[in-house]
Copies of this chain bind each other. A is one copy, B any other.
Amino acid sequence: MIRHVVLFAWTSEATDKQKQQVAEELRALPPLITGLRSFQVGPDVGLIEGNFDFALVADFDDADSYLAYRNHPAHRAVVEQVIDPVAKQRVAVQYET
């Protein structure tokens, strides 16, 4: 299984509505994705100073399933239209679990 982990930091101009839209549109993706075992996103809860702002953790059957998600048109649309406008930084790792 491949776990895909992404952390985002939002720009200071990002609005609460924009941040909420990121979460909502990402949460609408799982029914469209083949080989996806779990998918959870959420905003940082504010316990620790200096954290990034938002996390995504998704488990896929294998690397091919992850890459199909990465390239899926519905995912690309969320990235380009909803995430990119508010993302100051994005860091990611895929690891075997």
Contact = CB atoms under 8 A, between A and B. Distances in A.
Interface stretch (A28-36, A37-45, A79-87): A37-45
A55 B2 CA distance: 12
Contacts of A66: 47
Given A57-B57, A63-B47, A95 B42 contact: yes
A45 to B, nearest CB: 5
Q: Chain A at the B interface: mostly helix, strand, loop or mixed?
A: strand
Interface string A64-97: 0011001000000000000000000101111111
A93 B51 contact: yes
Interface centre among A55, A89, A92 (most CB of B within 10 A): A55
